[in-house]
Structure 1
Amino acid sequence: MSSNDIAIRVQNLSKCYQIYDTPRDRLKQFFAPRLQSLVGQTSKQYFREFWALKDISFEIKKGETVGIIGRNGSGKSTLLQIICGTLTPTSGSVETRGRIAALLELGSGFNPEFTGRENVYMNAAVLGLSKEEIDARFDDIAAFADIGDFIEQPVKTYSSGMTVRLAFAVIAHVDADILVIDEALSVGDAFFTQKCMRFLRKFMEKGTVLFVSHDTGAVINFCQRAIWLNKGISKYQGEPKDVAQKYLAELYESQQGESVAVPNVSHSDNSLPTGQLRDMRLDFINTTNHRNDIELFSFVPDAASFGKGGGNITLVQLLDETGQPLAWVVGGEKVRLIITCLANTNMFSPIIGFLVNDRLGQPIFGDNTFNFSKQSPLIISSGEKFEAEFEFRMPILPMGDYSITVALAEGTQQDHIQHHWVHDALSLKSHSSSVSTGLVGVPMSNVSVSVR
């Protein structure tokens, strides 16, 4: 790859902090090298080393959007600050090509004593704009921020949402080549967040974006690649969906212990009912291309999964209203999703859920059984089989590939053990669709236009 095609190059980057137990140790360390030079002996070290980053390397092409995920303390913010030049690395190098605009820690780069207007001029000047350029763009910046008369008030009087509005408004109008965003949009209101998303999507058409988020769905949706940082180390780099799946499995394992190998249980009653699979399309005489034909594939028992193994999912089926398993389904028709499980230990209050994902792994819709069973939770004995049934109208899906991820947990929504999470347990393929906009279509009971 040509160097001219690279927007950001990070090579063997490391950042080490010296941690002192007391201020006295810091003072001792200050004088230690001087004592060493006097007595000619190796001085004692009065600090502990903490490596926030260790040997990180990657390249980001111009026009590419890359997401960084990781738990708190994994080094994400440190990495972004080094790339933006506000921190100096201990070792390694960072090369950037083009103007960088960054939205890092809330209010970073703002003087709380200055008014919003004064901070706009100061911040935009730091990002490389002349006073004449800021004058020409100020009205647009103020309109984007939409904080009214607060633009003339000190930033210290702002709410966190107002601070983000003003900071994002500035970076949206400085003609940056590289945009760096660190989780800051999570404090904005829904309307402003949508405005920011529209700007980001337009910027991504030509600019480079480095995007940090705990929201794996956002990373899957926005990014072409993802980097998973864990305790300062680059744990995995690759397709966002793959990175998100590995990160999710590690996140649960850190809370509940290492996953176990879930056995593929084969029982005669887990097989599909005898008889021909019914093609629901045959019930419809309307054969126009407006119908949404969705092809279904068989349950994959050995799909990628993780969990503690206290129970496992043995079968996933999509049935029609009469209980017949489907080979095809028509968007807008009633279906029943059946998830069959086997308890390997005694279980109290199992939770069974599903997510329908698009080809990138972005969740489209889903549900689980918790709210429907919390008043009278089930007690399942080891070796017992149980199942969940979800009945709904199949949404109209745009053409493309989809999959259903299923999970079996135990406990509550907030505090639970994940026993078996199966990625892409059931695959779907939408061959035709009447969806014109959006991720899914909702069947209309009536559409009309009239003159009153």
Structure 2
Amino acid sequence: MSSEVAIEVQQLFKSYLIFEKPSHRLWQMLFRGRKNFYREHPVLKGVSFSVRRGETVGLIGRNGSGKSTLLQILCGVLEANAGSCDVKGRVAALLELGAGFNPEFTGRENIFMSGQIFGLTSEQIEERYQQIIEFADIGEYVLQPVKTYSSGMFMRLAFAVIAHVDADILVIDEALAVGDAYFVQKCMRYLRRFKESGGTLLFVSHDSSAVTALCDRAIWLHDGHVRVDAGPKQVTQAYLADMYHSVQGDRLDGVSQSARIKSERGGREDFVDARRDLVLASNLRNDLEVMAFDSHAEAFGKGGALITSVRFLNEDGNPLQWMVGGELVSLLVDVDILRPICNVIVGFLLKNKQGQSLFGDNTYLTYAGESLVCEAGEKLTAEFEFRMPILPAGEYAVSVAVSDGSQASHIIHQWIHEALIISSHASQVSTGLMGIPMKRIQLIRHSDNSGDT
């Protein structure tokens, strides 16, 4: 990471003028400031920070904290009332969906228009046009007016453009929230490559796990001020604590009024019993929908082996389209060997929507020291048996790979990024990135006078 500063913000102030009636705007013009018919709404109140070249900085904060206004000033869309903002390098921004697109133009026409706005020549855009439409993957819609696009298609095309304009600084404002799992994974891979190549990234998200995984630093904006500027873990933890405190305060949430009354009447043991009854009465469970194996999903590798099938089975060996967190399952990966391989390794990773690896395994860890030599034409199946963890609501991807070598040194013959998509349909079953299925949870009340329970 370079010590050179890419973005320098000093004492930035921005206010909007709020008029109670449309006619007040006209009166304000006529009185030329001798009388004010508006009230000022301050959004940024002396914001200062710097971003070094090659640094990835997350920007978090509640709605209305000033994040979008700050980004628009950095991109030159808005002017600040006071303060300075110095940005060095070509900036490509993905702010609100469709920004910079003409809704009447086709996707192709908007690609050329946006590319020229970012400083590319028509010849450069023509050279990159095929790569842009392949990245966007919107098919024949690229020749249709963008006013016919869904929000997801808008985001696909806009991101594809900024990914191919040779930007020094990328600014992304919560746009990935509308994408499907396949495309968001692709975008996150691009952002990691951009980061590794020395690009500067300013990333706005309400997803604390994405900020923690992607960013070197985080800035928490609160009511127009920089409240905390530190490591992403420290900032997201402080932000989460503040969010919980603002919602819950000092109240005891999660227990019904009847349980509280019973607690007051019957003592602590009755309170515990009442709370246990509430949990047992809940019908919440972690339902996981398993999509079909996508043999055409984005992949790479040397091509010495081909993954032909990926599927989940239950304990009876039946294919699963739905499963439950905590269920004993088997993940089977079928492989065709196309060229001789000295030591075959098959593995998998489960990733969340932001591309964070949650867990995985491979056959080398089990068969270390045992070389599995395969000849061309052979077929093999790798089976991984485990209890499915509890997954918070959202979409997840199973990546699979077959390689040759060892854990430390190997050649990838095929890596499929999103071989399977899993959609979790429960939101209140775990905290953190995933939950571990619990065999038993109990509360034991100890006597004050003895060790008896």
What pairs with 1:121-132 in structure 2 (closer than 5 Å)?
Answer: 121-132=112-123
**Which of 357, 360, 366 is matched with 1:441 structurally?**
360
Instruction: Provide TM-score, normalisation by structure 1.
Output: 0.59
Please say if residues 309 and 344 of structure 1, whose CA atoms lie closer than 8 Å, have aligned partners that are also in contact: no
In the alignment, does 2:117 pair up with 1:118? Answer: no
Label 1:170 to 1:87 Cα distance change in 2 as closer, same or farther (>3 A). same
Q: Does 1:190 align with 2:181?
A: yes
**C-alpha separation in 1, matches of 2:373 and 2:32:** 84
Q: Deviations over 1:20-39 (max 9, x none)?
A: 111122222222237xxxxx
Q: Give the match for residue 79 of structure 1.
A: 70
Change (3 A) 1:345 1:56: farther
**Structure 1 position 147, deviation (Å):** 0.8
Match of 1:179 in 2: 170
Q: CA deviation at 1:184?
A: 0.4
Structure 1 position 149, deviation (Å): 0.9
**Partner SS state of residue 441, structure 1:** strand
Deviations 1:20-68 (A, max 9, x none): 111122222222237xxxxxxxx33211110111100000000000000
Relative to structure 1, the CA distance from residue 166 to residue 392 in structure 2 (aligned partners, 3 Å threshold; closer, same or farther) is closer
**Alignment partner of 1:229: what SS?**
strand
Residue 391 of structure 1 and its aligned partner are, at CA, apart by: 8.9
Q: 1 CA distance for matches of 2:229 and 2:270? A: 36
Other-structure match for 1:99: 90
Q: Does the alignment pair 1:33 with 2:32?
A: yes
- After superposition, the Cα gap between the structure-2 partners of 1:31 and 1:345, relative to the gap in structure 1 and judged at 3 Å, is farther
The amino acid of 1:103's aligned partner reads L
Question: Structure 1 residues 440 and 15, CA, compared in 2 at 3 Å: closer, same or farther?
Answer: same
Relative to 1, partners in 2 of residues 1:199 and 1:54: Cα closer, same or farther, differing over 3 Å? same
1:210 is aligned to 2:209:
no
Aligned amino acid, residue 13 of structure 1: L
SS at match of 1:95: strand
Report the Cα distance in structure 1 between the residues aligned to 2:60 and 2:147, rounded to whole angstroms. Answer: 31
Q: How does 1:416-435 map to 2 (within 5 A)?
A: none
Q: CA RMSD in A?
A: 3.5
Q: Aligned partners of 2:253, 2:279: CA distance in 1, in Å?
A: 21
SS of residue matched to 1:440 = strand
Q: In the alignment, which residue of structure 2 is the partner of 1:161?
A: 152
Give the 3-state SS of the residue equivalent to 1:196 in structure 2.
helix
Q: Do the aligned residues in 2 keep the contact of 1:310 with 1:343 (CA within 8 Å)?
A: no
Partner of 1:19: 18
- Asked if the contact 2:106/2:145 (under 8 Å) is kept, the reply is yes
Q: Would the alpha carbon gap of residues 375 and 147 (structure 1) be closer, same or farther in structure 2, given more than 3 Å must change? A: closer
Q: Any idea what SS the aligned residue of 1:237 has?
A: strand
- For 2:9, give the aligned amino acid: V
Partner of 2:239: 247
Pairing 1:307-326 to 2, within 5 Å after superposition: 308=251
Task: Give the equivalent residue in structure 1 for 2:282.
Answer: 374
SS in 2 for 1:204: helix
CA deviation profile, 1:152-203 (whole Å, cap 9, x unmatched): 1100011111111110000000010000000101111111111111110000
- Cα distance in 1 for residues equivalent to 2:279 and 2:41: 44
Change (3 A) 1:344 1:119: farther
Q: 2:57 touches 2:203 (CA, 8 Å); kept in 1? A: yes
Code of the residue aligned with 1:27 in structure 2: it is: L
Checking the alignment, whether the CA contact within 8 Å between 1:70 and 1:228 is kept in structure 2 is yes
What is the 5 A alignment of 1:57-72? Answer: 57-72=48-63
Q: Contact 1:177–1:207 at 8 Å: present in 2 too? A: yes
Cα distance between partner residues in 2 of 1:231 and 1:73: 7
2:5–2:50 Cα contact (<8 Å) kept: yes
2:320 alignment counterpart:
none
Change (3 A) 1:172 1:44: same
Contact 2:348 2:361 in 1 (8 A): no
Cα separation, partners in 2 of 1:170 and 1:372, compared to 1, 3 Å? farther
Unaligned runs of 5+ in 1: 35-42, 260-307, 312-341, 352-368, 377-389, 394-434
Aligned length: 295
2:216 to 224, 227, 236: 224
Counterpart contact for 1:310–1:345, Cα < 8 Å: no
The residue type equivalent to 2:139 in the other structure is G
Amino acid at match of 2:130: D
Write out per-residue CA displacement over residues 216-237 of structure 1, whole angstroms, 9 at most, x where no aligned residue. 1100010011011112111111
C-alpha distance in 2 between matches for 1:161 and 1:145: 10
